Amino acid sequence: MKFALFTTFGILILTININAYMQNPDPRNIENGIPIYEHGYCDQPYVVIGKDKTWICTFTTSPKHEGASSQYIVAVTSNDQGKTWSEPVEIEPPTDIEASWVMPLMTDSGRIYAFYIYNGDNIHELNGKPIRADMLGWYCYKYSDDNGKTWSERYRLPVRVTECDLNNQWNGKVQIMWGIGKPIVSKGSAFFGFTKLGKYMLEEGEGWFFRSDNIMTEQNPSNIKWQMLPDGDHGLRSPEFGSVQEEHNIVPLSNGDLYCMYRTTTGHPINSYSRDSGITWSKPEIATYSNGRPFKNPRACPRIWKTKNGKYLFWYHNHSGRDFADRNPAWISGGIEKDGAILWSQPEILLYSHDLSYETGRLSYPDLIEQDGRYWITTTQKTKATIHEIEPKLLDGLWNQFYTKEFIQDGLILSLDSISKTEVSMPTLPSLIEGGFTIELWIKFDDLSEGQVIIDSRDDNGKGIALSTTDKGTVEIIINDGKYLANWDCDQGLLDTKKPHHIAIVIDGATNIITFVIDGVLCDGGEYRQYGWGRFSQFLDSINNADKLRIMPNFNGRLKCLKIYDRYLRNSEVISNFNKYKDIMLSE
Q: Is residue 9 part of a domain?
A: no
Mean pLDDT of 189-202: 97
Structural domain contains residue 2: no
315 contacts 307 by C-beta, under 8 angstroms: no
Report the percentage of the chain scoring pLDDT > 70.
Answer: 96
Q: Are the C-beta atoms of residues 95 and 118 closer than 8 Å to each other?
A: no
34 and 157 co-located in one domain: yes
Report yes or no on 60 lying in a domain. yes
Mean pLDDT for 239-250 is 98
Domain-ending residue, one of 379, 400, 421: 400
Answer for the pair 120, 137: CB distance below 8 angstroms, yes or no: yes
Pick from 341, 374, 400: which residue ends a domain?
A: 400
Write the pLDDT tens digit of every residue in 462-502: 999 999 999 999 999 999 999 999 999 999 999 999 999 99
Average pLDDT of the segment spanning 203-207 = 98
Say which CATH number the domain at 132 has: 2.120.10.10
Read off the pLDDT of each residue in 77-99 and give the average, rounded to a whole number: 97
Assess contact for 224 and 147: CB atoms under 8 A. no
Q: What's the pLDDT tens digit per position in 213-237?
A: 999 999 999 999 999 999 999 999 9
CA nearest neighbour of 562 among 405, 454, 475: 454
Question: Are residue 239 and residue 314 in the same domain, yes or no?
Answer: yes
d(CA 232, CA 161): 11
Q: Given the DSSP bridges, would you call strands 548-554 and 423-425 parallel, antiparallel or unpaired? A: antiparallel
Cβ pair 395, 388 in contact under 8 A: no
Whether residue 3 lies inside any domain: the answer is no
- Of the candidates 577, 581, 564, 582, the one whose C-alpha atom is nearest the C-alpha of residue 467 is 564
Q: Tell me, yes or no, whether 382 and 423 share the same domain.
A: no
Mean pLDDT for the chain? 94
**pLDDT tens by residue, 513-553:** 999 999 999 999 999 999 999 999 999 999 998 789 999 99
Does 361 lie in the same domain as 341?
yes
Report yes or no: 221 and 105 within 8 Å, Cβ to Cβ.
no
Residue 418: per-residue pLDDT: 82
Whether 169 maps to a domain, the answer reads yes
Q: Is 211 found in the same domain as 163? A: yes
Distance CA 432, CA 540 (A): 6
Q: What is the tally of structural domains in the chain?
A: 2
What is the pLDDT, as a whole number, of residue 264?
98
Q: Say how far apart CA 577 and CA 401 lie, in whole Å.
A: 10
When pLDDT is cut at 50, 70 and 90, the band that residue 421 belongs to is confident
On whether residue 13 sits in a domain, the answer given is no
Angle at the Cα of 294 (from 382 to 488), degrees rounded to 5? 75
441 and 302 within one domain: no
The pLDDT confidence band at residue 24, using thresholds 50, 70 and 90, is low
Task: Express each pLDDT in 97-149 by its tens digit.
Answer: 999 999 999 999 999 999 999 999 999 999 999 999 999 999 999 999 999 99
Give the per-residue SS3 of 331-388: EEEEEEEECCEEEECCCEEEEECCCCCCCCCCCEEEEEEEECCEEEEEEECCCEEEEE
Q: What is the mean pLDDT of residues 357-375?
A: 95
> 359: burial class by Cβ within 10 Å (0-12, 13-18, 19+)?
exposed
Q: What percent of the chain shows pLDDT beyond 90? A: 93
C-alpha 243/C-alpha 257 separation (Å) is 27
Rounded to whole angstroms, how far apart are CA atoms 3 and 479? Answer: 18
Whether 323 and 357 map to the same domain: the answer is yes
**Which residue has better confidence, 409 or 3?**
409
Residue 4 lies in a domain: no
Domain range for 116 is: 27-400
Domain termination site, one of 362, 379, 400: 400
Rounded Cα distance between 558 and 501, Å, is: 11
| Any domain includes 15 | no
Alpha carbon of 464 to those of 338, 427, 457, 470: distances in Å? 46, 11, 5, 19
